């Protein structure tokens, strides 16, 4: 692995770690299996730092990123969306924003986080191995568990479809395995 790939890998892992930390701070979970989110303050997005926001509606997040958000039509039973959709800017000037949607299963023990990242920027996984995702060229990467903080391996799938890049990541725990993650990826649709 060359130095550039190593930096990309560290950046990707850092982004996922921040995403996981943000999602675990969410206390209230709302919404249905279609990924819809309801909130009292329609369209509100709150700045959480430079280049990062939490939005409590799909519409608010879409306004910030400037494109329609895709969502999976299939999720394993018990997975519910978080209250917020995270929007962030890539750390490169002039790059588009990315949306991150989170789901987890409150009935299962341990980490059950599922994350879908979407952007118009072709970001890749950094250190991922080539694979097919939904019949398209993509990447696959397993991030090994590091107990006690992260007791389960995490699998990430990356693909580009049309003008959008997607990364679907899930902790391999409970009903979540690679076959299930690929089934979820195959169900990701734009409205």
Question: Residue 41: what pLDDT?
Answer: 38
Question: Residue 93: what pLDDT?
Answer: 67
Instruction: Give the list of residues 6+ apart from residue 40 with CB closer than 8 angstroms, or none.
Output: none
Please tell me whether the overall predicted TM-score, pTM, comes out greater than 0.85 for this model: no
The rounded distance, in Å, linking the Cα atoms of 43 and 52 is 16
User: What is the mean pLDDT for each group of 10 consecutive residues in the chain (191 residues)?
Assistant: 37 38 30 36 75 94 94 94 91 80 88 92 83 93 86 93 95 90 96 89
């Amino acid at each position: 692995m060359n130095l550039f790939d190593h930096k990309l890998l560290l950046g990707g892992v850092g982004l996922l770690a921040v995403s996981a930390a943000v999602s675990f701070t969410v206390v209230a979970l709302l919404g249905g299996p279609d990924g819809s989110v309801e909130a009292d303050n329609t369209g509100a997005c709150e700045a959480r730092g430079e280049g990062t926001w939490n939005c409590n509606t799909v519409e608010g997040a879409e306004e910030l990123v400037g494109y329609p958000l895709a969502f999976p039509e299939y999720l394993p039973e018990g997975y519910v969306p978080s209250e917020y959709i995270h929007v962030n800017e890539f750390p490169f000037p002039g790059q588009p924003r990315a949306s991150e949607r989170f789901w987890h299963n409150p009935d299962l023990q341990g980490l059950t986080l599922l994350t879908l990242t979407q952007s118009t920027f072709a970001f890749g996984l950094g250190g991922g191995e080539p694979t097919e995702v939904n019949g398209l060229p993509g990447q696959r990467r397993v991030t090994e568990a590091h107990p006690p903080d992260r007791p389960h391996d995490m699998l990430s799938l990356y693909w580009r479809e049309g003008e959008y890049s997607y990364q679907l990541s899930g902790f391999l725990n409970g009903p979540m395995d690679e076959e299930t993650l690929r089934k979820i990826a195959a169900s990701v649709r734009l409205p």
